[in-house]
Amino acid sequence: MKRVVIIGSGNVATSLAHGLSRHCCVAQIYSRTLSHARALADAIGCPDATDDLKKLVPDADVYILAVSDDAIAGVISAVPDNGALWVHTSGSKPIDLFKGRRARYGVLWPMQSFSRQVVTALDEVHFFAEASDEAALGDLMALGHLISRHVVEADSAKRRQLHVASVFSCNFANHMWTLAAEVLDEAGLPFEAMKPLIHTTVDKLDRLAPAQSQTGPAIRHDLKVIASHQAMLDDDKRDIYDLITQSIMNRNPLDDNAQ
Amino acid sequence: MKRVVIIGSGNVATSLAHGLSRHCCVAQIYSRTLSHARALADAIGCPDATDDLKKLVPDADVYILAVSDDAIAGVISAVPDNGALWVHTSGSKPIDLFKGRRARYGVLWPMQSFSRQVVTALDEVHFFAEASDEAALGDLMALGHLISRHVVEADSAKRRQLHVASVFSCNFANHMWTLAAEVLDEAGLPFEAMKPLIHTTVDKLDRLAPAQSQTGPAIRHDLKVIASHQAMLDDDKRDIYDLITQSIMNRNPLDDNAQ
């Protein structure tokens, strides 16, 4: 059974520790704050917690750096190589942070937004793996498959595309809801009213690709409704409304819809 | 117990018929296609189905026109007034379709996207009501409250704002997912990878307003990441990326975030 050390006790570390502890031996939790390391170790039944990088157990198989992006390099340089597999979990940091400092290393990035309060089930989370060499990649993919059904190889370029996609999928979708909330607020109406509709829209993704489940005035090229909406919006929202409407119309020329 | 006639057998009519049949007497279902009327009537235990507007039962309390937007006016003019409450369920058609043709009338618009295949639970769906007079509004709100916890008065202007909000909430959020799917497709990656993240983003709406749960490079004013994303996108996606990023940044000046 693989022995894993988890460096970090934050959002990603918490869900990883819980997921991994069911399938391998989490030998130690490190955190800058001992009480945090101890709390996470206790929660998963791990015997060893530390706040001292010099006291990392020396003989684990895998060391997972689930710390903030800016802290990764510091941990790598503070600890000498021991020949184990060293892994960070960041989508935006390159694998090269390890280069010249570790012999076997990789990146294992979970495509999910974690919080410390909630232990997230990892089975359906997609993990993206990159490693220093084929053997390390094999070990890393095997580790990922212990906790998730979806482990895919992805180099830095692919991770960047995944990151852009997540910005559209989550950050920008969420901003659409912010704009909707503003429109409703002006009318004295609660954003709550949108939630059943939002849930239905998301549920459709289980059956259809988003391009296939698009609805609304833009895909119908309903210029009368579009004009009435444009007339109601402030500049900021109208610019966004126009651009997205045009983008939907461009992808769905009227000829395609005419029956 | 109120006696209700449902005119229509499509998406909205189906869920309304099921919801109403538990709390009042659905006396008749009308559809242009008799077999559709019959199927829906049978499904809810309603004794009477017809495809003839001349055979509408004359003495119901409420007549609900859950037909397509463009069919509403035709039904109204084909049937003489009988003094009952007449209601259409369209968000985009004005209440004035009834003016001069009915004495007591209104609009009861459910903010949900329905499909004929799925009977949608209405309890949490927000209904927006408008009526010809106070007494009719009282009757209409009471009818709505039989099937939903959320029935709110909303005139045509408010319905228009709700409609714009639903375009942002659903149509535009869905288009963000289309754009994400395109980015992923270019990298040979499946849109599936986004789903756990999308579900987490939607779940957050139960705890926080969307403006409060915004994350990502735009709200962090992370210009380096933003520039690297811009460099990867085609013109269409980059224009949208830029405009939404700017809209998020404008609402979250850096001073607000600095601690």
Is the minimum CB–CB distance between A225 and chain B shorter than 8 Å? yes
In this predicted structure, what is the pLDDT of residue B258?
A: 47
Describe the crossing of helices B156-166 and A173-186 by its angle, rounded to 10 degrees: 170
Indicate if the pLDDT at residue A258 is higher than 50: no
B12, two tokens:
């909205």
Which residues in chain B are contacts of A166 at CB distance < 8 A? Answer: 180, 194, 197
Specify the 3-state DSSP secondary structure of A108. Answer: strand
In this predicted structure, what is the pLDDT of residue A175?
A: 98
Specify the 3-state DSSP secondary structure of A64. Answer: strand
Q: CB–CB of A168/A145 below 8 Å?
A: no
The arithmetic mean of pLDDT across residues A40-46, rounded, is 97
Q: Which of B8, B128, B155 is nearest to B75 (CA)?
A: B8
In this predicted structure, what is the pLDDT of residue B50?
A: 98
In this predicted structure, what is the pLDDT of residue B1?
A: 80
The arithmetic mean of pLDDT across residues A87-97, rounded, is 94
Q: In sequence order, what E strands does A49-195 have?
A: 49-50, 62-65, 85-88, 104-110, 126-131, 150-153
* pLDDT tens digits, one per residue of B200-254: 999 999 999 999 999 999 999 999 999 999 999 999 999 999 999 999 999 999 8
d(CA A208, CA B199): 16
d(CA B215, CA B248): 10
The mean pLDDT of chain A is 95
User: Which of A125, A158, A184 lies nearest to residue B165, judging by beta carbons?
Assistant: A184
Indicate if the pLDDT at residue A256 is higher than 80: no
Subunit contact A126:B196, Cβ cutoff 8 A: yes
In this predicted structure, what is the pLDDT of residue A94?
A: 93
The arithmetic mean of pLDDT across residues A119-130, rounded, is 94
In this predicted structure, what is the pLDDT of residue A231?
A: 96
pLDDT, one tens digit for every residue, chain B (259 residues): 899 999 999 999 999 999 999 999 999 999 999 999 999 999 999 999 999 999 999 999 999 999 999 999 999 999 999 999 999 999 989 999 999 999 999 999 999 988 877 888 999 999 999 999 999 999 999 999 999 999 999 999 999 999 999 999 999 999 999 999 999 999 999 999 999 999 999 999 999 999 999 999 999 999 999 999 999 999 999 999 999 999 999 999 987 554 4
d(CA B43, CA B53): 21
Binning pLDDT at 50, 70 and 90, where does residue A81 land? Answer: very high
* pLDDT tens digits, one per residue of A180-226: 999 999 999 999 999 999 999 999 999 999 999 999 999 999 999 99
Indicate if the pLDDT at residue A76 is higher than 80: yes
Is the minimum CB–CB distance between B149 and chain A shorter than 8 Å? no
Subunit contact A162:B189, Cβ cutoff 8 A: yes
In this predicted structure, what is the pLDDT of residue B256?
A: 58
Indicate if the pLDDT at residue A249 is higher than 60: yes
ipTM for the predicted complex comes to 0.90
Subunit contact A197:B157, Cβ cutoff 8 A: no
* pLDDT tens digits, one per residue of A236-247: 999 999 999 999
Q: CB–CB of B65/B75 below 8 Å?
A: yes
Subunit contact B194:A164, Cβ cutoff 8 A: no
Distance from CA of B49 to the nearest CA of A (A): 30
In this predicted structure, what is the pLDDT of residue A255?
A: 75
In this predicted structure, what is the pLDDT of residue A190?
A: 94
